[in-house]
Structure 1
Amino acid sequence: MSSMQSKQSMQSSNIEMPFKSSSVVLSAAIMIALYSYSVTAVADPNTISKATKSSEIVKLKEIKKKYQKLLVGEKNIASAMSVITPEQIKHASSSQSIYSMLRLTPSVNEYQQNIGPGTPTLTVRGVRMSQLAQTLDGIPMISLLHGGQGAYINNQDNNVGSLVSMGQIEGIHVYPGVAPPDRGGFATVGGTVSYSTKMPTKKFYTDIFSKVGSFSTDNYGFEVNSGSIPDTDGLRILTRLSQTQTDGYIQNTPARYTDFLFSAIKPYDYGLSKVTATVIYNQGSGNMLTETTPIPQLNKYGIYFNYPLSEASNYQDNKYLTAILGDQTYVNSHIVLSGKLFYIGKSNKFEGYTNPDYINSTYPYQVNFNSPYFAYGPIGPSYGNSNNITYNPAQTFGSYHAGEAAEIQYNHTDTLGFAPKVNVFLPDNAITIGGLFARETTGDNNATYFYGNLNMPQQNGYNALSYGDIEKRTVYSGYVQDKISLFNNSLHIEPGVTITGVSTTNYVPSNIYNSPSHPYTLGNYDKDILPYLGISYDITPKYIIYASYGKGARFAPVQDYVLGSSGSTTVAPGPETVNAYEAGLRYVGRHLYLNFDGFLQNMHGMFSFYTDYLTNYSVYANIGEQQMKGLELSGKYQVTPDITVFGNTSYTDARYMNSFSASDTPFEGQYGYVFAGDPLAAVPNWLATLGVRYHTSNFSTQLYGTYTGPQPTTYDLPPTEPELVLQDATVPTNSVKVPPYFLLNLSASYKLHVNMDHLKYLKLGLNIDNLLDNQYYVHTAQVYKQYGFTAVGQQYNSAYPGEPRFIEVGLTGRFS
């Protein structure tokens, strides 16, 4: 059995086809099925004690036959899927993140504001990051309370650092649209990104590594893999610690990241079953851009200009703790039970400051939105805002805007959950039954304070805008999925259904407004039934056609459960949903892999809200309609055993289907309004990637380019619009677009074998991102400066610049 596996592993490594490489990180059901069938013949004590030599040979042939069928399981998946391999992750530079790596897959547009995981913005087929599901080893990474990251203005998004980092993962699966239920994750209306953590291997090694790069970027750390520990029946442990710091490629955006990983595997029951444990502690702190930078200033001071931190700053210090305890129990050759108990804790401290000289009607540009004066206007007893606030900004600092120039915000959430699963293997079908039971709660110390500077007192009842809010959401979700194989395993039918219910409450003990003046609690219970049906057919062993339909749902963020000054919102919006259709054709040959598909995603009941900050009156509803449709082509060709060419291209048309108040900017600012037929901002029609990889036992290099086509932007309507909802509203437009840009990236590594005790080799690495040093914008907009809850001055263009050339060299020592 071991020789057969080794041969198959060599074939996968040499061919490097997507479905072959994904055999290393196959879906959980396929891996469990393979594991169950193979260990039956080689590890079951009853089988071993009774088997004869001839019966073992017969069983081995049966296992090989089943193995071959299971190996191509991903080949027959009835929806689009992309795989980012361990090798691709290993060769990424420190400037990249778990989100920027997704750019290697079709229909993904991504950019960020810093080196590493700094304020990412992401779309998949036009679906934004906040609307996507993300999973880590099958558990939800996103906030159950607020959804995915990506809303820049919402400081609760923990936009510096990430729950899992590049060095802590060994594979990524991307499922655009609606994936089969056992891979779909929680709360998505357009895609799932599934990350797999790095696990210990059977051979001992220790890596000590260091990298030095542009913009004062350095990374260093170690990784220790215990291998199979003697006298422990196969216990294996992996520990990794790394530190990264950078000045950032934009002025005054320094950041620092610390990442720690502990993972362990303990087989039991003669190797038929196993227990796994994972602990991840990450911390990210740094300064974000305070606002899109005015292009006149970029032209004057340089494309990477940013205000000094003494003038304007947005700072986050985020901590992420994740613990996962899993068990996989082999019952017999037909049933495998598994489950994961998990905890996720996220802590966020946000500090925002704006020089009062910029908080007026005469300074021409918006410097920062994160100053309380911009959001609330004059606050204090003199303005009737006496509830729980005795601090008088004008008396202490001479004016209201000077006394409301800074804020400090604390957020903490705890998530505890359990994800059980049962796999049932029958002759012609494999059934999966699973669920998710989880609760996320905010800490009772969450609070927001305001003052004239960041050296402020932090006293509830004095200068607290809010404190003591307790948000809770409990998720009850279950799914059933089957995969039926008919007509000599050529027709595969994959029906499934997910039933999800969420119970949500938001307790608000204090409010800066006179109405309501007493604590209140808002809450409700939402549920949805989400069917899925996929069909694939092997026309020949190499040609597969497939089609699927799936429904997805995303539940309203808990921050929508609030009351305005007039008590306007008593019930939050219901879930927004998507009906996703796709069909495609795959070619899976010995040296060539191709996938071509088309998709149509109709999104209904999109969250819509409008807030009039003069009265703090808010209106929430499910009235938005969107549609995404397009084509995708991806492939990989092995030219020789050492050379592989890969690439993808996609066309996406994403539009709003009706007119409504919407969060239409890429980072989801409010005050937006869209009209029927408008494009979605930050969604290019065309995206493409093309690259070549050369790999031998000691040397590896990869050169690839990415093309991002023109993308729609936004502009602000004038404050003179006759309808209140349109005054100064941000609307998308095709008339002004972000210019297209092309980036070329190079990576290379060389192993230098060393004839020394314990030191196995030295590995030299080189990364050059944006090899041609192109200057480009990743986002532009036409905006007004905001003052007194209205637009003032002249409209101007603003932008975020993309990363310039980034050069990094690294050295790793492997000890064994």
Structure 2
Amino acid sequence: MHSAEYWYGSAPVPQQSGYNNAWNERDSRIYSSVYAQDDISLFGRTLHITPGVKYLDAQTTSADNVGFYYPIGGTVSDNESFVSPTLGINYAPLSGFSIYGAYGRNIKFPNIGAFYSNIAEQNAAGQYVVVPVHLSPEYATDYELGTRYEGYGFAGTVNVYRELFTNTFINTTSPISGLSTTVNGGSSRYQGVELGLVQHFQAIPMGRFSVFGNYSYNKAVFTSSFNSAYAGQVSAGQPLADVPTNMVNLGIGWMRGLVHVRIDEKYVGPQYVNQQFAGVPGGLTIPGYAVTNIGVFDTIPFHETDVKSIKLALNIDNVFNKHYIPKAVSNTDYYGNSYLSVFEGMPFSIYGSATVRF
């Protein structure tokens, strides 16, 4: 990636690093992975065990020239690797019914913001220096247990899960320079329940109908207390931001031939929001919201031509033009009063597409 911004009073704008550039940055990441998995079948294929392992490697480099935000230039780099094990078990004692469980370990490599902010940092003496990357990757351990059933036009699934994170990433922003950086912020936990149901009704002359619903409960909290020069004091049990506890999706579908119509109501519950500069939640939340969407789809097949089919799609989002806030950050004004900077949700919108299959 090459990213640069130059300032000048008139066109044409010269592009001279150290003269009129805000920054001139080149970043690269070489990502490699090798994966192997086996499927062990036992007891007349009613029990399946799928062990797997993946090797992941990421080599990242960020280089910046001298610019408005960078009094000195420099390069930082890092190489991280990880062996990720997975294990899945699925037991189907009856036709259409199964019980499953899964375990896995994974890694999240730091994004590029954790690198370029290390160039032109100031040390205790006020000198600009290039600081080696000292951020640790984020590690996740995942457990899941669930059951599925499918039969007589009905399909349902329910599962519980727990995800444990260490070295949780926190994105902070300097109010002086405007530069963002990523720091480690202790451990955290996501856990909850997911439920999915769908019922298909027998085909009638008017077409085939179905009703469906999904519900998820997710509780996300920090599980360790820590104090960060960037984020401040964080206590165990404090919630994470941008994680609604409850989400619901209900809808109906109709299909006749290759025409498909879908109407669904999506509800997203209240959620905590991050402080703009600290990168961790304060006490402010955004309210929950519900939005109705409609989708109409049709596939037109062609015979004896190079074009096999054309799929047409018409989507109507936020049918009732509701005002809602899907995301926000909190800040304080000059007098120390808290307020929200919000991102408005999409209003009533119509858009379509045509996909040609050859």
**Correspondent of 1:579 among 131, 135, 141:** 141
Which residue of structure 1 aligns with residue 155 of structure 2? 593
Contact 1:690 1:706 in 2 (8 A): yes
Cα distance in structure 1, aligned partners of 2:180 and 2:345:
36
**Correspondent of 1:650 among 216, 220, 225:** 216
Contact 1:568 1:618 in 2 (8 A): no
Shift of 1:623: 4.3
Unaligned runs of 5+ in 2: 124-128
Which residue of structure 1 aligns with residue 6 of structure 2? 449
Change (3 A) 1:521 1:702: closer
Contact 2:284 2:330 in 1 (8 A): no
Which string of whole-angstrom CA distances, capped at 9 and with x for unpartnered residues, describes residues 235-275 of structure 1? xxxxxxxxxxxxxxxxxxxxxxxxxxxxxxxxxxxxxxxxx
Which residue of structure 2 aligns with residue 472 of structure 1? 28
Contact 2:161 2:191 in 1 (8 A): yes
Contact 1:568 1:619 in 2 (8 A): no
Change (3 A) 1:575 1:773: same
- Give the SS at the match of 1:560: helix
| Matched letter for residue 285 of structure 2 | K
Unaligned runs of 5+ in 1: 1-412, 414-442, 663-669, 717-727, 786-790
| Matched letter for residue 348 of structure 2 | R
Which string of whole-angstrom CA distances, capped at 9 and with x for unpartnered residues, describes residues 34-59 of structure 1? xxxxxxxxxxxxxxxxxxxxxxxxxx
- TM-score, normalised on structure 1? 0.37
Bigger share in helix: 1
Which residue of structure 1 aligns with residue 201 of structure 2? 639
Which string of whole-angstrom CA distances, capped at 9 and with x for unpartnered residues, describes residues 449-502 of structure 1? 2457898543323111332x4333323321221110011001111111112222
Cα distance in structure 2, aligned partners of 1:549 and 1:522:
35
Cα distance in structure 1, aligned partners of 2:180 and 2:92:
53
Which residue of structure 2 aligns with residue 416 of structure 1? none
Cα distance in structure 1, aligned partners of 2:70 and 2:356:
65
1:773 aligns with 2:321: yes
Which string of whole-angstrom CA distances, capped at 9 and with x for unpartnered residues, describes residues 95-132 of structure 1? xxxxxxxxxxxxxxxxxxxxxxxxxxxxxxxxxxxxxx
Shift of 1:594: 0.8
**Correspondent of 1:547 among 88, 101, 121:** 101
Contact 1:535 1:547 in 2 (8 A): yes
Contact 1:485 1:492 in 2 (8 A): yes
**Correspondent of 2:273 among 692, 706, 713:** 713
1:497 aligns with 2:45: no
Cα distance in structure 1, aligned partners of 2:42 and 2:330:
57
Cα distance in structure 1, aligned partners of 2:236 and 2:137:
21
- Superposed, which structure 2 residues align to 1:13-28 within 5 Å? none
**Correspondent of 1:687 among 215, 232, 247:** 247
Which string of whole-angstrom CA distances, capped at 9 and with x for unpartnered residues, describes residues 689-732 of structure 1? 1111111126432211111112223457xxxxxxxxxxx74541
Contact 2:22 2:67 in 1 (8 A): yes
| Matched letter for residue 774 of structure 1 | K
Identity of aligned residues (%): 30
- Superposed, which structure 2 residues align to 1:130-145 within 5 Å? none
1:800 aligns with 2:343: yes
Contact 2:158 2:196 in 1 (8 A): yes
Cα distance in structure 2, aligned partners of 1:495 and 1:699:
41
Cα distance in structure 1, aligned partners of 2:61 and 2:134:
10
- Superposed, which structure 2 residues align to 1:97-496 within 5 Å? 413=1, 443=2, 446-450=3-7, 456-467=13-24, 469-496=25-52
Paired positions, count = 342
Which string of whole-angstrom CA distances, capped at 9 and with x for unpartnered residues, describes residues 114-157 of structure 1? xxxxxxxxxxxxxxxxxxxxxxxxxxxxxxxxxxxxxxxxxxxx
Change (3 A) 1:731 1:795: same
- Larger relative contact order, structure 1 or 2 (CA cutoff 8 Å, min sep 6): 1
Contact 1:673 1:730 in 2 (8 A): no
Change (3 A) 1:777 1:521: closer
Cα distance in structure 2, aligned partners of 1:537 and 1:815:
38
Shift of 1:661: 7.2
Change (3 A) 1:513 1:593: closer
- TM-score, normalised on structure 2? 0.79
Change (3 A) 1:489 1:783: same
Cα distance in structure 1, aligned partners of 2:267 and 2:36:
40
**Correspondent of 2:166 among 585, 592, 604:** 604
Bigger share in strand: 2
Cα distance in structure 1, aligned partners of 2:93 and 2:226:
46
Cα distance in structure 2, aligned partners of 1:681 and 1:795:
16
